[in-house]
Amino acid sequence: MQSKPGRLRTCLLMLASVGCGHTEPFSSTPPATDQPFDALPPIRLTFNQGPDRGAAWLPDGSGILYSAQQLGRADHDVCLALIPPGGGSQRQLTCDLSPTGIDSTDAIESPAAGPDGRIAFVARASRIQAITPENTSIAVASFTNPTGRTRAQIFPYTLPDGAQHSGASQLRWLTPDVLLYLGERVDYHHPCDRCVEWDTTTTGVDVVSLDLAQPGSPPERIPGTENASGASAGATADQIYYTVNGDSRVYRRTLSTGLVEVVHDFGPDGLTRDVHVVGNRMAAVVGGRVTYGISPAFGPTQWDSGGVVHVIDLQSGADVTLDGPGLFRRPQLSPSGTRLVVETYPLIDSPTGTIVSRRSDLYLYQIP
């Protein structure tokens, strides 16, 4: 969330076809197939050795963008990939963002394709095997040349009231010139007392808008969205949907009036996050392995390993849950609202119980 039917190869295996050693802007090869490796639903779209995540549809539904970490590369870049809307061979791949190429680890995350041929994404760069990135930004570029990016917002930053954002996700185009995103706090820590490896936890802080028509404009929190855990544009540029850490409800805010409504309450099903709305359909992740509390080191924190995807008809209130081979994060409805692509994290049996894999693949669902 490719090369060969429905499968993403690592760059090491793709040297002959796409030259991933020093990837040119969106290096391309003619797609070998637009059919998935296995057409049985749900359709598994990716078979990468590393995690695939952050899926987003092209505005016309003709393809799916996502982030794919390339473990076959010495720099372990997280690359921007594109596959056909129903699965199949990878059409395009962009890896190196920085001039030093394979001497640093570059990451392209949370892509969002705009209606005018531009693409926005979170760009990170770090020394290879470093714990924290050296720089993080929201970048904007043409879809045909993501490496020719312009940094629209650099992280970390502090809002006037003192709230800090060190990262972002769930980028959406609210209008052709305004980005909507979830401002986040990114924490690095050891997952256990005797662990030597480091873990990363991201917690939503605010829903933010960024005016690209005025370069240098500061990010602005959407009033009332403090402690948000998900953000989505609505049917018009005057509406947004959001979820809140530790809460089972989905909210809708009318920007021009400030009116806030509860759209749906999942109640005993559990904490709700990762909302996405298209037309009269709303997808969200509910329940699963998620907790919210106060971390002694970091403050209010939501630990999230995934949950169940619910798809709600906003007119009738009908609720459809999706079954899959694991837990879900960040569902994305297609522009037509009839399909959904989602990160899926397998459950693994271990001597201490069932754990959630850190490696995700993308799966495609047809919505009845």
The domains of the chain are located at: 156-322
Whether the CB-CB separation of 65 and 79 falls below 8 Å is answered with: no
Whether the CB-CB separation of 57 and 33 falls below 8 Å is answered with: no
Lowest mean per-residue pLDDT among 97-111, 211-225, 319-333: 97-111
| Region 179-185 average pLDDT | 98
- Please give the pLDDT value at position 39: 81
| pLDDT tier at 40, thresholds 50, 70, 90 | confident
Q: Which two tokens stand for residue 315?
A: 């007119």
| pLDDT tier at 196, thresholds 50, 70, 90 | confident
Residue with token string 């609210």:
174
Q: For the chain, what percent of residues have pLDDT higher than 90?
A: 75
Q: Which two tokens stand for residue 35?
A: 């059919």
For 46-81, the pLDDT digits (tens) are 998 899 999 999 999 999 999 999 988 888 899 999
pLDDT at 308 over 80: yes
| Region 82-99 average pLDDT | 89
- Please give the pLDDT value at position 32: 67
- The one-letter amino acid code at 70 reads Q
For 197-247, the pLDDT digits (tens) are 888 999 999 999 999 999 899 999 999 999 999 999 999 999 999 999 999
- Please give the pLDDT value at position 28: 44
Whether the CB-CB separation of 106 and 69 falls below 8 Å is answered with: no
Mean pLDDT rounded to a whole number for the chain: 89
Cα gap 311→321, rounded to integer Å: 6
Q: Which of 108, 242, 224, 124 is nearest to 174 (CA)?
A: 242
Other Cβ atoms within 10 Å of 364 Cβ, number: 23
